[in-house]
Amino acid sequence: MNNSQMDFTQRVVIITGGAQGIGRAYALEFAAAGARVVVADLNSDKAAAVAAEITASGGQALGLAVDVSDRVSVDAMVTACLEAWGQVDVLINNAAVFSTLKMKPFEEIDVDEWDLVMNVNARGVFFCCQAVAAAMRERGSGKIINISSSVVQTGRAHYAHYVASKGAVVALTRALATELGDSGINVNAISPHGIVTEVPRDTIKPEQWDAILAAQALKRKGGVTDMIGATLFLASDHSNYITGQTLNVDAGLRFN
């Protein structure tokens, strides 16, 4: 999808986990479509670098440090956004713990690792949604896009905490769509699969990729650009009559 078809001029978009991978791609594409972008990430230096990249190209961006698992940090992020631009039009809950996880039987996942994954991947989404709700309600509109995963439906083994956290994202999306609909706020999720970024991963071996690609209708790996069209669509006015849905971006791995 050409972002020229999606005009986000003067709209404010918060992207958590925006400093690398898919989050960075979101930040650059929304900025290219005219949005004012908050690049929020635990890594403040990388967030600032992406924001500088946008401003150097003539766009508007803020690079902010945020720990989405911490309510005070999330509130500070949203406050900084409102102080700068006075509104929040789109929230993309992209931050997650994934690439650093080691596959293991669920009996071997200790409570600290379980809590880390749930705190970032599930509680972090909850906190961010809470933090933007008042500003969106005041304007009578808003788009919240939560990033889930194909593992919710495939039940991928040896990732029990990650699967559970991303399942919570889908359930929360449905609950918030119901609660926020009266305020004109759309809440949807995207469920990606097989997206390759510059972030290193060693959890999928070459032979596993062969099996994954064989199960897909489209026989190729995905890239960050494959996520952009779906996200721009759900953030735009073209999706105003869609809420509470989970959009699979997965090369036809699953059919609803």
Work out the number of other CB atoms within 10 angstroms of the CB of residue 105.
9
Cβ atoms of residues 99 and 201 within 8 Å: yes
d(CA 2, CA 121): 30
Beta strands in 154-239 (DSSP E): 185-192, 195-196, 222-223
In angstroms, what CA-CA distances link 102 with 201, 209, 213, 251? 10, 17, 22, 25
> In whole angstroms, what is the distance from residue 83 CA to residue 64 CA?
13
Going from N- to C-terminal start, the domains of the chain cover: 8-249
- CB atoms closer than 10 angstroms to residue 205: 9
Quick one: pLDDT at residue 100?
86
What's at 201, amino acid-wise? R
Spatial distance between the Cα atoms of 221 and 50, rounded to a whole number of angstroms:
25
pLDDT by 10s per residue, the chain, length 256 = 444 458 999 999 999 999 999 999 999 999 999 999 999 999 999 999 999 999 999 999 999 999 999 999 999 999 999 999 999 999 999 999 988 888 899 999 999 999 999 999 999 999 999 999 999 999 999 999 999 998 898 888 999 999 999 999 999 999 999 999 999 999 999 998 777 766 655 566 677 767 777 776 677 776 788 889 999 999 999 999 999 999 998 766 777 7
**pLDDT recorded at residue 1:** 43
Name the CATH topology of 8-249: Rossmann fold (3.40.50)
Q: Do 37 and 10 touch, CB atoms closer than 8 A?
A: no
* 19 Cβ neighbours under 8 A, 6+ residues apart: 39, 41, 43, 46, 47, 49, 50, 63
CA angle 2, 8, 10 (to 5 degrees): 150
Catalytic residue ranges: 162
The residue with tokens 């698992």 is: 69
Helices (H), 57-188: 71-85, 111-118, 124-139, 151-154, 160-180
User: Would the pTM of this model clear 0.85, i.e. be above it?
Assistant: yes
- HSE-CB at 99 with a 13 A cutoff on CA atoms is 13
Nearest to residue 228, comparing CAs of 30, 7, 74, 84?
30
Which pLDDT does position 98 carry in this prediction?
Answer: 86
**In one letter, which amino acid is 16?**
T
The reported pLDDT for the residue numbered 25 is 95
